[in-house]
Amino acid sequence: MLSGNIKTIGVYIGPDKPEALKVLRDLQEWCEQHQIELSAIGIAAEEHGCRPLAEEDGQLVEDVDLIIVLGGDGTMLGAARLIGPRQIPVLGVNFGWLGYLTEFTLKEMFPALDRLIEGRLSIDYRMLLDVIVKRGDDVIASHRALNDAVVNKSAPARMPQLECYVDGMFVNSFRADGMIIATPTGSTAYSLSAGGPIVHPGMSAIILTPICPHMLSNRPVVVSGDSTVEMRIKVSSDDLMLTIDGQLGISLELDDRIELRRSRFIFTLVRPASRNYFEVLRTKLKWGNV
């Protein structure tokens, strides 16, 4: 259960969500009634007289006790990147299409906040991946992923060859359009569309899912969350990219190495107590429907 000692709330609003901006005024009134300070992102802070939640470079200005995400799943992934190593609970209100991570509806938001300050909401702790890109002896990029890290072609190009190692042991050499390295949370995202398994988000695991592999025998594999996964670029082109949660892109070159391991930080997700994980699978992803 989440402690009800909430004194400051930050609001993270997705781009092109004008309807979410309208909700911010109601949220301000609710916070004033409960003597809670409110911060917001960017233009939302300027228009509503809130304190800024983050600088223009995306760095969190101050710690808050809770972040409310108004948007879709992509907005939630952006919020996870903003929070970084700070383990701030996040409550997602769906203004997008699927709302797999942003589970609360607008009608549920204020009742949920009332329960929250009473300490009556449950939270999930979600695994994150630390992703490091090495070129020679240099680290050229370091990021954290909630869903996945994906090596793939950014344009029509020849098929890359990727070597995969787990804890230093050679796994296989893959000729494929790319490779998805996913967390259990990300197992129901791009990895699922590419034929990967559904993995319960409470597990500690890393999912390796080839994208359109040339060989039928190259199937997805699940390894321990305590493992270190390394991908090596053996055959490449100028159009090979590493994408983090579908939002950040890093250009890759021949012989680049990508190291992935479970982060020591976690993502803290506030969830409706009235819905369990399997109900979300059935209702959001139509899992098991015939």
Which residues are catalytically annotated? Answer: 73
Distance set, CA 51 to CA 90, 91, 117, 124, 286 (Å): 18, 19, 21, 28, 40
Instruction: Tell me how far CA of residue 155 lies from CA of 110, 152, 158, 179, 240, in angstroms.
Output: 45, 9, 10, 15, 8
Assign 57 to helix, strand or coil.
coil
Q: How far apart are CA 163 and CA 36, in angstroms?
A: 51
Backbone angles phi, psi at 61, to 5 degrees: -70, -45
C-beta of residue 163 within 8 angstroms of C-beta of residue 173? yes
Q: Which residues pair with 125 in a beta bridge?
A: 268
In angstroms, the CA 95 to CA 92 distance is 9
3-class DSSP state of 8: strand
Type of residue numbered 77: L
Q: How far is CA 122 from CA 113, 195, 277, in A?
A: 12, 31, 13
Q: How many CB atoms lie within 10 A of CB 98?
A: 14
